[in-house]
Amino acid sequence: MMNGTSNWQVVLTEFCTLGESPVWDDRLQRILWVDIIEGHVHEWYTAARRHVMTHFPVKIGAIALIDDGAVIAASDEGFVFLDLRNRGVKRITDPESRLADNRFNDGKCDAVGRFWAGTMDEVTGKKGAGSLYSLDKDGRATRRVNNVTCSNGLAWSLDHQTLFYIDTGTHQVQAFDFELETGRIANPRAVIDIPESEGWPDGMTIDAAGMLWIAFWGGWKVARWNPYTGEKLSEIKLPVAQITSCTFGGKNLKDLYITSANIGLTDAERSAQRLAGSLFVVDNLDVGGIGPSRYVQRESPSDFATHTIHGH
């Protein structure tokens, strides 16, 4: 496996303020990702080499695919449906509507189609201000973890019995016993302790061998870790500091797509990191990934005219 290599490519010249939430769509052979601050959803169709960007009047922390082709998102307006073709937004529920400084951040679907996403205080970064939620198919949000500072990476073990989770400020990966049928979690414990010298652990994905790939904000890299031993196995160096997330894609799920950000950089840092905010890809890794699960909802989100959000 790679260690310290620079075998990366830029997918396209499109710089995100805060790129996040890369999602591979195996049906349409496209990679999707978001720019949280700008409210953009990007789509890159790999065969046609075609880029589509859609703007929405919300800050979009994370997205996931839906079986009928729509997209679900976790945003500063709570959980919403997004219509990428007509630019519609339909509200589902906002469990933190009374917390004006909070917004949703990273999110992902489990194997039965629940959408998991967590929050953070984006104004002051107040410690413990956020929570982790799951959204069931009936549109009901359940709080699963509280006292979260910056909710980030999510992944499930290959047997779906363990949830791995990152609250960035802890410099740890936590594991929970996970009950797939109900979504219940229990027995939280730290399985990876990450030295501060690595950077801040951000987004995360799991590979076909059950190892975790973690993006490091301020770390200039993604790194592969063993959640059963806590050992760092390898890393891929990148030309920018603020690496936010990663996911596997491509026809064989062996291409690693990596998002980044340029928010908060000084002029000197921007000059030194001219690719900051890019989407990167590392092709044809030795190990592949797991295809993303889709959100399964009870009713179709096709009626975007109802409860449509027009602005912040």
Are 132 and 145 in contact by the 8 Å Cβ rule? The answer is yes
- Cβ-count burial 220-238 (b if 16+ within 10 Å, e if not): bbbbbbebeeeebbbbbbb
Any known ligand binding at 262? no
Paired strand residues for 205: 213
Q: How far apart are CA 173 and CA 168, in angstroms?
A: 9
Cβ count near 70 (within 10 Å): 20
Any known ligand binding at 152? yes
Cβ count near 309 (within 10 Å): 16
Backbone φ, ψ for residue 300 (5° rounding): -70, 140
Any known ligand binding at 20? yes
68 carries an active-site annotation? no
Any known ligand binding at 202? yes
Give me the catalytic one of 202, 267, 286, 303. Answer: 202
Longest dimension (CA), the chain: 51
Rounded-to-10 torsion of CA 216, 217, 218, 221 = 30
- DSSP 8-class letter at 34: E
Q: Which tokens in the block code for residue 131?
A: 């929570």
**Kind plus residue range of the DSSP H or E element containing 42:** strand 40-45
Q: How far apart are CA 305 and CA 91, in angstroms?
A: 10
Binding-site residue positions: 20, 103, 105, 152, 202
- Residues serving a catalytic function are 202
Binding residue numbers for substrate? 103, 105
